[in-house]
C-alpha cells in the first residue's frame, strides 16, 4: 500500500505548480484558466486520496460535484474570453485596465 503522504505531497506539488503558473503567465488569460484546471485537479486528488484511505465514498461523491462545477466554470470562462477577444482583439490582462484614470 502506498503511504498517504505520497499522494498528498504529489497533489501539493501540482497545486504549487499551478500557483506559480498563475504568477508567471499573468499576460495570458487562457493559460491562467489552464492553471486553474490544474488546481482543481490537485484538490480532487486530495479528496480521492483521503476518501480512499478513510474508507469513505463521500470524497468521491464530492469530486463528482467538483467536476460538474468545473465543467460549467470553464465553459463560462471561455465564453467570457471569447467576448473579451471580440471587443478588445487581445486576451492580455494589461489591456483590461480601463478603469485606470
Partner 1 sequence: MNIELVTFFIFSTLLIFTCFKVITSSNPVLSAINLVFSFFLSAVLWLLLGAEFLSIILILVYVGAVMVLFLFVVMMLDINIAKKTAAYIKYLPLGIAVFIAFNILIIYFFINTFENIDYNAVKNIEIISDSNTQNLGYLLFTKYIIEFEIAGLILLLGIISAIVLTYRKNPKNKYQNPTKQISASKKDRLKIITDLKE
Q: Which residue ranges make up the site for partner 1 (CB under 8 A)?
A: 1-10, 12-21, 23-28, 30-31, 33-35, 37-38, 41, 44-45, 48-49, 51-58, 60-61, 63-65, 67-76, 78-83, 85, 91, 94
CB of 99 to partner 1, least distance (A): 20
Angle in degrees, 0-180, between the axes of helices 4-24 and 29-53, rounded to the nearest 10: 170
* CB 41 within 8 Å of CB 14: yes
CB of 83 to partner 1, least distance (A): 5
Nearer of residues 5 and 96 to partner 1, judged by Cβ: 5
Nearer of residues 60 and 96 to partner 1, judged by Cβ: 60
C-alpha cell at 3: 503511504
CB of 87 to partner 1, least distance (A): 12
Nearer of residues 7 and 101 to partner 1, judged by Cβ: 7
Instruction: Say which DSSP state 26 is in.
Output: -
User: CB-based burial of residue 6 (10 Å sphere; 0-12 exposed, 13-18 middle, 19+ buried)?
Assistant: exposed
Q: Which sign, positive or negative, has the C-alpha torsion 68, 73, 78, 80?
A: positive
Amino acid at each position: 500500500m502506498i503511504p498517504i503522504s505520497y499522494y498528498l505531497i504529489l497533489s501539493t506539488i501540482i497545486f504549487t505548480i499551478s500557483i506559480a503558473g498563475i504568477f508567471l503567465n499573468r499576460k495570458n488569460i487562457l493559460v491562467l484558466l489552464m492553471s486553474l484546471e490544474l488546481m482543481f485537479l490537485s484538490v480532487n486528488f486530495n479528496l480521492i486520496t483521503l476518501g480512499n484511505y478513510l474508507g469513505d465514498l463521500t470524497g468521491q461523491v464530492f469530486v463528482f460535484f467538483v467536476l460538474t462545477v468545473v465543467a460549467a466554470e470553464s465553459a463560462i470562462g471561455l465564453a467570457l474570453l471569447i467576448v473579451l477577444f471580440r471587443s478588445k482583439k487581445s486576451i492580455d490582462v494589461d489591456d483590461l485596465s480601463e478603469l485606470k484614470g
